[in-house]
Amino acid sequence: MRRRTFLGALALATLPTLVGRPLLAATVKKRVIVIGAGMAGLAAAKTLADGGYAVTVLEARSRLGGRISTSTLWADAPVDLGASWIHGQTGNPLTALAKTIGAPTVTTLEDSQIVYDNNGIELTTAGYRNLESLRTTLENAVVSAQNNLAVDQSLRSAIDARVNFASRTAADQLRMNYLMNSDYEQEYSGPATSLSAIWFDDDSAYRGEDLLFTKGYAALPEYLSRGLDIRYQQTVKRIRNPSAGAASVETQSGTFTADRLIITLPLGVLKSTGVTFDPVLPATKTQAIAKLGMGVLNKCVLRFNRVFWAENYDWLGYVPTLNGQWAEWISLSRQLGKPILVGFNAADYGRQIESLTDGQIVAGAMATLRKIYGGAIPDPVGYQITRWAGDPLSLGSYSYLPVGATPKLRDTLAASVNRTLFFAGEATHRQYPATVHGAYLSGLRAAQEVVSAG
Ligand SMILES: Cc1cc2nc3c(=O)[nH]c(=O)nc-3n(C[C@H](O)[C@H](O)[C@H](O)COP(=O)(O)OP(=O)(O)OC[C@H]3O[C@@H](n4cnc5c(N)ncnc54)[C@H](O)[C@@H]3O)c2cc1C
């Protein structure tokens, strides 16, 4: 996922942004259960454990990190199958955290991009100019929609109406489809036909280029987890809150009780029927869960025996015939020093691709690469493919705002219940949703709320 830099949208962090500060002084040693060992859960757990609370983390997987998932299948080239980047390094609390623990990073250059037209040939200078002009047209259409729409509608229909999409040349239509996928769907993970025209981009971003972890993002959750009591393979089925200050959690293998719970279940899991609440959650919260969207971004990581692509660029773009298919690629050759390409598919196609076999997915990727680089390029020597929508412990990649949702729903999702159940996770962060830093900050916020609840 590439996150555009929103100039002027610098966030004002009001919370402590690094764990380990002496913010807490628990007079009575309260028992806290944290559900989920992703960044939100680990940030909360470490903060409270450091503050003297008795914390237990329940995690369904047999690993840390949740949607941070560093694969070590290729021992010489760790690959991140979930989050890859610290988006916007300036002022981002994760930049400081990575530095503190000595996790090596390299800058990915947003502007380092080559774009291939639908025929597989690089855009000409005039083609690049046309693409930029179409991008400006789309951005103006978004601004116009956000300034004028009285009733929300999908990003796609708001743009189409404002740019007279139907009357555009076939070439312009393909390029506009490419831009809507690359700039909006890849970033926000929901289909343009579903994203709220008014609210979809109501988030903030840190300044600066993105940072990629050369040895894997997993270093961050691993650091946060040190010294914590984490119980793996504990799939939470039922959460009970019989009275204020009392809670219990049933997993497939037992029942755990605590004074407070911090719930960091992904929005996709909250939407499913896999975890039940007794008593049921307030209607405002169940509505927020229903109305917020869980989108999809999937990766197909291809390893070759040599670099055959334009290795001076970090990003490769392709204007596809079919909307959103194999349009966005990152080359890891400069950043990892290995001949690895990652193809991204988001939104509708990102979801559809999950029903294909690995062989079919690799064949689709290679068909696009052969269109660009010719039939003689080698087959990959290895591949790794994600299916985040089908992952029962995630049920999607990250949250977005569809038509009918407003940013305030994220606050509703974050709100505590009965001073006993506290909620964190990327979907609860109004300012930085869909990111690792949003998840992390939400965990710090929930920990603070537990302290304030007494
Ligand atoms: C492909 C992809 C690329 C991304 N790229 C980036 C990026 O480059 N930069 C960025 O900032 N963000 C990126 N993101 C988003 C980022 O990964 C997430 O926003 C963030 O990691 C979410 O953290 P979290 O703690 O909220 O949730 P999670 O990491 O999902 O943690 C929740 C935990 O709950 C556990 N769980 C689920 N159900 C149960 C249950 N019933 N019982 C017990 N435990 C359960 C899960 O196993 C998981 O460990 C990407 C996401 C994906 C999928």
The Cα–Cα gap between 238 and 249 comes to 6
Instruction: Say what the pTM is.
Output: 0.95
Length of the chain in residues, anyone? 454
Sorting pLDDT into bands at 50, 70 and 90, what band is 110?
confident
CA atoms within 13 A on the CB side of 229: 11
Strand partners, 329: 316, 343
Among 353, 385, 417, identify where a domain stops.
385
My answer on whether 313 and 203 are in the same domain is yes
Ligand 1 probe mutation, 436, 437, 445, most atoms within 8 A of CB: 436
Is 70 exceeded by the pLDDT of residue 36?
yes
My answer on whether 314 and 376 are in the same domain is yes
My answer on whether 172 and 100 are in the same domain is no
Q: Give, as one character, the DSSP assignment of residue 378.
A: P
Tokens of 72: 């070590």
My answer on whether 226 and 338 are in the same domain is no
My answer on whether 221 and 252 are in the same domain is yes
Judged by average pLDDT, the poorest of 16-30, 60-74, 384-398 is 16-30
The domain in which residue 55 lies consists of: 31-71+94-104+216-292+404-452
My answer on whether 278 and 301 are in the same domain is no
In a 3-state reduction of DSSP, which class is residue 417? Answer: strand
The Cα–Cα gap between 155 and 141 comes to 10
CA atoms within 13 A on the CB side of 8: 0
Please check whether residue 120 lies inside any domain of the structure. Answer: yes
Please check whether residue 65 lies inside any domain of the structure. Answer: yes
Q: Model confidence over 38-58: pLDDT tens digits?
A: 999 999 999 999 999 999 999
Is 70 exceeded by the pLDDT of residue 203?
yes
Q: Give, as one character, the DSSP assignment of residue 123.
A: P
Please check whether residue 87 lies inside any domain of the structure. Answer: no
**Alpha helix positions (H), 296-346:** 333-336
In a 3-state reduction of DSSP, which class is residue 65? Answer: coil
Please check whether residue 14 lies inside any domain of the structure. Answer: no
**Residue nearest to ligand 1 atom 20, measured at CA:** 436
Q: Model confidence over 326-384: pLDDT tens digits?
A: 999 999 998 899 999 999 999 999 999 999 999 999 999 999 999 999 999 999 999 99
DSSP assignment string, 241-303: EEETTEEEEEETTEEEEESEEEE---HHHHHSSSSEEESPPPHHHHHHHHHSEEE-EEEEEEE
Beta carbons of 331 and 316 less than 8 angstroms apart: yes
pLDDT of residue 311: 85
Please check whether residue 82 lies inside any domain of the structure. Answer: no
The Cα–Cα gap between 342 and 332 comes to 8
My answer on whether 316 and 259 are in the same domain is no
Sorting pLDDT into bands at 50, 70 and 90, what band is 264?
very high
What CATH number did the domain enclosing 263 receive?
Answer: 3.50.50.60
Please check whether residue 287 lies inside any domain of the structure. Answer: yes
My answer on whether 304 and 274 are in the same domain is no
The H or E element containing residue 439 is: helix 436-452
The Cα–Cα gap between 293 and 156 comes to 16
My answer on whether 137 and 220 are in the same domain is no
The Cα–Cα gap between 318 and 422 comes to 43
Chain centroid to Cα 172, Å, comes to 30
Ligand 1 probe mutation, 3, 61, 67, most atoms within 8 A of CB: 67
Q: 301 CB less than 6 Å from ligand 1?
A: no
Please check whether residue 118 lies inside any domain of the structure. Answer: yes
Q: How far is the CA of 440 from the centre of ligand 1 (A)?
A: 11
What CATH number did the domain enclosing 310 receive?
Answer: 3.90.660.10
Beta carbons of 37 and 230 less than 8 angstroms apart: yes
Mean pLDDT, residues 423-443: 98
| Atom in ligand 1 nearest the alpha carbon of residue 437 | 11
Q: 249 CB less than 6 Å from ligand 1?
A: no
Q: 40 CB less than 6 Å from ligand 1?
A: yes
| Atom in ligand 1 nearest the alpha carbon of residue 39 | 25
Q: How far is the CA of 59 from the centre of ligand 1 (A)?
A: 12
The Cα–Cα gap between 33 and 130 comes to 54
My answer on whether 311 and 178 are in the same domain is yes
Is 60 exceeded by the pLDDT of residue 30?
yes
The Cα–Cα gap between 354 and 367 comes to 18
Among 385, 412, 441, identify where a domain stops.
385
The Cα–Cα gap between 307 and 134 comes to 31
Mean pLDDT, residues 232-236: 98
My answer on whether 284 and 416 are in the same domain is yes
CA atoms within 13 A on the CB side of 75: 0
> Residue 373, exposed/middle/buried by CB under 10 A (0-12, 13-18, 19+)?
middle
Q: Model confidence over 242-263: pLDDT tens digits?
A: 999 999 999 999 999 999 999 9
Please check whether residue 180 lies inside any domain of the structure. Answer: yes
The H or E element containing residue 79 is: strand 79-80
Sorting pLDDT into bands at 50, 70 and 90, what band is 109?
confident
Rg (CA), the chain: 22
My answer on whether 197 and 230 are in the same domain is no
| Atom in ligand 1 nearest the alpha carbon of residue 234 | 43
pLDDT of residue 28: 62
Tokens of 268: 């996709």
Number of domains in the chain: 2
